Amino acid sequence: MAKVITIRSADQLREHANAWDELWWSSCVSAPAARAELIAQWLDTFLGKEDVRILAVELDGRLVAALPLLLGNKKGLFGVGTLPRSDWTGCGDLLLRPDVDAQLALAPLVAELQNLDCSLLWLDGVSVEAGYWQTFCRFLREAGLNTLCDVRYEVGIVGMHHDWEAYRKTWSRMHRRNMKRHARQLQQQGDLQLRVYSELADDDVAPLIERGFAVEDRSWKGRAGSSVLSSGVNLDYVKRQSMQLNAWKQLELVFLELDGKPIAFEWGWTAKGVYHATKVGYDESYAKWGPGQVLRYLMYEQFFADDIHTSIDFIGDLTPATGKWCTRTYPVGRIVVGKPTVSGRALMLGYRAVRQVRDRGRTAAIVDTGQGTGLHEPAPV
């Protein structure tokens, strides 16, 4: 019989790390930020006044479903359950073992969610059309919980069929010309080298992280206060993450160097064949040659030639810089779940009303500029 385990701290999560990570490996989630130790590190660094309520379903001695939640107050007005996320970083996802009957895995989890002391679940950064989230939402509805899927943005994907020339032909003519021209111009400035560091010695991780994020700080992100070094993000936290990822052989630090000087940098994670482009930056004094894009150009050519990488996930909101490379996109958004109580129903009605006003304003603004709506209808949940 399935039972629900409630984990209430980072240390307790570490006690279940082996079982949790075995579930992660079997799940459809590729981002290593959903692994136990990285969730625990997030809790150690960013947890505020929220209560930790990490729910895991155990069946026949192994975990078959899990959802990390924090219970707190939304603007001090009502209780809400959220995924572990901050303005700068987030972690955690719904983990579901695909070879187990969803009824056995999810019904106990949904029943436990109804006992939580909160009016809403407010789950941000969710791949809303992924099959495991859609199945979860179906079980929520069947249990009488009001469920809303709110698409917020698109994320780009590069699918790798390992035919570099065929992939290049999918780019716009302008993008092909710019990449070839910028790479050639940078090569004319000196010795241009792409260096990809993975499976590092422990002592090499922190110095390379410092070197890389110093490059990011020399871009517009530094001036805008959004780089890691200028935004107040705890660099020690980034180093701890990177040390753990390196121990798992899931860290990739990528530098574009000119005469030995780093002019572009990307902090990436590779897991289950997916390269997650987590953070990129470049030295703004070389901006006219697009060093960040040239880094991608040379790096992706290498990825297409190896047998490790099967796709690239840009993780964040689709931008013109990432859109040039993508072969497809997927929607990311928020799943809001209201309890069948007076307060839960009222809050869901209020959220729907606010969303309708927001979407009308967004559509009008886009149409006024002649861009088309660019909006997605959420998948039915």
- Cα angle 205-89-30, degrees, rounded to a multiple of 5: 75
CATH 3.40.630.30 intervals, the chain: 3-154+332-368, 161-309
Size (the chain), residues: 381
Q: How far is CA 83 from CA 71, 123, 224, in A?
A: 9, 6, 28
Q: How many C-beta atoms lie closer than 10 Å to residue 269's C-beta?
A: 23
* Digitized pLDDT (tens) for each residue of the chain, 381 residues in all: 899 999 999 999 999 999 999 999 999 999 999 999 999 999 999 999 999 999 999 999 999 999 999 999 877 668 899 999 877 778 989 999 999 999 999 999 999 999 998 999 999 999 999 999 999 999 999 999 999 999 999 999 999 988 999 999 999 999 999 999 999 999 999 999 999 999 999 999 999 999 999 999 888 888 888 788 887 778 899 999 999 999 999 999 999 999 999 999 999 999 999 999 999 999 999 999 999 999 999 999 999 999 999 999 999 899 999 999 999 999 999 999 998 888 888 988 988 898 888 777 665 543 443 333 233 333 332
Sign of CA dihedral 197, 203, 205, 209: negative
H/E stretch holding 167: helix 164-168
For the domain made up of 3-154+332-368, give the CATH fold: Aminopeptidase (3.40.630)
> What is the token pair recorded at 101?
């009957």
- Which of 332, 334, 348 has its CA nearest to residue 124? 334
Q: How far is CA 36 from CA 43, 56, 65, 133, in A?
A: 11, 12, 13, 20
Q: What is the pLDDT of residue 363?
A: 53
The CATH superfamily holding the domain 161-309 is Gcn5-related N-acetyltransferase (GNAT) (3.40.630.30)
- Mutual orientation of helices 291-305 and 173-189 as an angle, nearest 10°? 100
Q: What is the pLDDT of residue 223?
A: 81
Buried b (16+ CB within 10 A) or exposed e, 238-248: bbbbbbbbbee
The conformation of residue 287, written as its DSSP 8-state character, comes to G
Q: What is the pLDDT of residue 26?
A: 98
Q: How far apart are CA 156 and CA 328, in angstroms?
A: 6
